[in-house]
Amino acid sequence: MEYFRDFPTPAARFGQSDLVVVGTIAAVDALGAPQRSKAKSPIQNRFLIEPIRMRVLVENSFKREPPSRTMDVYGYIYSEQNERQLGHPLPFTPEKGQRRLLFLRSEGNRIRLLHDVFDYSRRMFSGQHDRVDPAFASSAGTSISWMLLTRGDDSIPEGFAVRLGEYTWYAHELAGTPVMMELLKRLMADPDDRVRKRANQLRASFEYEVERGADPYPDFAR
């Protein structure tokens, strides 16, 4: 059975999950032919979806420990045989080699995606983190925020700069404004010009929108 939901906030995703991990996808296997969705929505039940199994190499875990550091994750993706492409929210497109923050649920003896078809995960361009800075290890929310907004040795600066608005939004939702602003402040001194400029833009935008009483999230969610 596939799971469709409204596109929840990061805090809602975390709260609904049984297991939250950061890991690298080692393989993606199709488990059958495309099938018509059983969703109740008159739009979503027109989708062709495909069952998949992902082999995930777990690097960091939250909420509870995974059954293994190498685990299989099941779910459904949007089939390429659909006549139209999804716009927003974007579809979940897992590929070998991607590092992702994954929100998962237990289903019997299996671990599966929290929700299907749409991308409820986040690509991790910030790189690998062996341990969390003790100053940000007080909760799962602050730990995740630190990982999203702190570049590791194998980070991808260009992708990181492009996704920085999303990561900042996550940090604000999961850890609150003070933690988010402190992590953003650190990035304002990043050696990479693209990261440094984007961090400065986001901090200035947030402060401006808050000062005039507007919602800063639309910029952060892009």
- Indicate whether 118 and 133 sit together in one domain: no
Please give the residue that has the higher pLDDT: either 63 or 98. 98
Please give the residue that has the higher pLDDT: either 205 or 23. 23
- Indicate whether 142 and 49 sit together in one domain: no
- Indicate whether 70 and 140 sit together in one domain: no
Here the CATH number for the domain that contains residue 120 is 2.40.50
Residue range 39-43: mean pLDDT, rounded: 53
- Indicate whether 47 and 100 sit together in one domain: yes
- Indicate whether 145 and 100 sit together in one domain: no
Please count the structural domains in the chain: 2
Domain boundary among 124, 157, 188: 124
- Indicate whether 149 and 107 sit together in one domain: no
Residue range 88-110: mean pLDDT, rounded: 88
Residue 121: both structure tokens together: 């995960």
Supply the range of the domain harboring residue 202: 127-222
Structure confidence at residue 118 as a pLDDT band (50, 70, 90): confident
Highest mean pLDDT among 43-52, 87-96, 126-135: 126-135
- Indicate whether 102 and 146 sit together in one domain: no
> What is the pLDDT, as a whole number, of residue 43?
52
> What is the pLDDT, as a whole number, of residue 74?
94
> What is the pLDDT, as a whole number, of residue 220?
45
Please, what sign has the CA dihedral across residues 129, 21, 98, 216? negative
- Indicate whether 106 and 175 sit together in one domain: no
Residue range 107-131: mean pLDDT, rounded: 90
168 in Cβ contact with 162 (< 8 Å): no
Domain boundary among 58, 89, 124: 124
Domain boundary among 76, 108, 124: 124
Q: What is the mean pLDDT of the chain?
A: 85
- Indicate whether 29 and 110 sit together in one domain: yes
> What is the pLDDT, as a whole number, of residue 37?
66
- Indicate whether 36 and 108 sit together in one domain: yes
19 in Cβ contact with 111 (< 8 Å): yes
Q: Write out the DSSP string of 79-119.
A: -TTSSS---SSPBP---TT-EEEEEEEEETTEEEESS-SB-
Three-state secondary structure string covering 164-217: HHHHHHHHHHHHCHHHHHHHHHHHCCCCCHHHHHHHHHHHHHHHHHHHCCCCCH
- Indicate whether 112 and 131 sit together in one domain: no
- Indicate whether 16 and 115 sit together in one domain: yes
> What is the pLDDT, as a whole number, of residue 78?
77
pLDDT tens-digit readout, 179-221? 999 999 999 999 999 999 999 999 888 876 666 665 655 444 4
Kindly give, in sequence order, each residue whose CB lies less than 8 Å from that of residue 93, ignoring residues fewer than 6 positions away: 77, 119
Please give the residue that has the higher pLDDT: either 91 or 55. 55
Residue range 129-140: mean pLDDT, rounded: 91
